[in-house]
């Protein structure tokens, strides 16, 4: 191919038309891609997450839907001071900026109080340790009840007049009373032991006195029989 023919092909309108068409297609592709991503990701559309804490679930859902957001329950908790089904926590937090259609995950208040197991505390912990453990679990503690025993040592747990033990399952709403030692000990048991010992000693002393009396009586009886035998023998010799 001659040089003149090669150059003439570059001057062809058909070739340049195809090149221009390809350039236009590429430009349109990148423009459309950029615009599509902006639409898909809602670029520049920031929505501030409202504060849902304490609101009922239905009111929170209505508010979020009006702002183009979604809501989903992912956990439940319990707060006796709040109404059932109200919002306890949310993710993302209040004030965060999100896009339209974003899902807000919430924790709602359970309508039923949770049932908890009494831990191994009786005769195994002090008053302070038991109070810290049970309070952390969510129990309400009334004034302690003092009993004779080591001071501030836990001897029992009661609820509504009933004794509770390790492993018992009770509602967290039921208040508990801790039975703890007052540092005093019951001396009646020691008095009884002393009395029993004294009575035993007295019994032994009486028994020993009776024994001496019995031995003395037996000895006297033997002497009497001996005297009678001597009299019989003497009378027999005189008669003979």
Which pTM value belongs to this model?
Answer: 0.48
Give the gyration radius of the chain's Cα atoms: 51
Tell me the C-alpha distance between 88 and 114, whole Å. 16
Fold of 47-109: Trypsin Inhibitor V; Chain A (3.30.10)
Tell which wins on pLDDT, 44 or 93. Answer: 93
Domain with CATH 3.30.10.20 in the chain: 47-109, 115-181
Is pLDDT at 72 greater than 90 in this prediction?
yes
Note the pLDDT of residue 20: 83
Residue 13 confidence (pLDDT): 72
Residue 186 has pLDDT above 50, yes or no: yes
| Residue 175 pLDDT | 94
List, as one string, the DSSP characters of the chain.
--HHHHHHHHT-HHHHHHHHHHHHHHHHHHHHHHHHHHHHHTTT--EEPPP-TT-BHHHHHHHHHHTT-EEEEEEEE--TTS-TTBEEEEESPTT-EE-TTPEEEEEEE-SSPPEEE--S-TTTSBHHHHHHHHHHHT--B---EEEEEEETBEEEEEETTEEE-TT-EEETTS-BEEEEE-S----HHHHHHHHHHHHHHHHHHHHHHHHHHHHHHHHHHHHHHHHHHHHHHHHHHHH-
Domain boundaries 115-181, corresponding CATH code: 3.30.10.20
pLDDT tens digits along 43-53: 556 889 999 99
């Amino acid at each position: 191919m001659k040089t003149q023919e090669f150059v003439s092909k570059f001057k062809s309108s058909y070739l340049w038309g195809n090149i221009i068409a390809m350039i236009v297609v590429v430009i349109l592709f990148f423009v459309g891609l950029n615009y599509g991503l902006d639409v898909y990701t809602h670029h520049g559309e920031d929505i501030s997450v409202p504060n849902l804490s304490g609101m009922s679930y239905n009111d929170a859902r209505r508010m979020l839907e009006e702002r183009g957001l979604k809501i989903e329950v992912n956990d439940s908790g319990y707060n006796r001071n709040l109404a059932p089904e109200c919002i306890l926590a949310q993710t993302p937090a209040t004030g965060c900026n999100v896009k339209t259609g974003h899902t807000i995950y919430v924790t709602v208040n359970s309508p039923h109080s949770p049932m908890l197991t009494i831990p191994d505390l009786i005769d195994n912990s002090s008053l302070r340790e038991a109070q810290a453990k049970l309070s952390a679990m969510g129990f309400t503690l009334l004034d302690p009840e003092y009993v004779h025993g080591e001071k501030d040592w836990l001897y029992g747990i009661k609820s509504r007049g009933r004794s509770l033990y390790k492993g018992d399952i009770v509602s967290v709403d039921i208040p508990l009373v801790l039975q703890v030692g007052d540092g005093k000990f019951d001396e009646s048991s020691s008095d009884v032991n002393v009395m029993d010992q004294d009575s035993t000693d007295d019994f032994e002393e009486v028994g020993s006195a009776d024994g001496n009396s019995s031995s003395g009586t037996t000895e006297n009886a033997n002497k009497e029989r001996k005297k009678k035998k001597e009299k019989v023998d003497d009378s027999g010799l005189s008669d003979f």
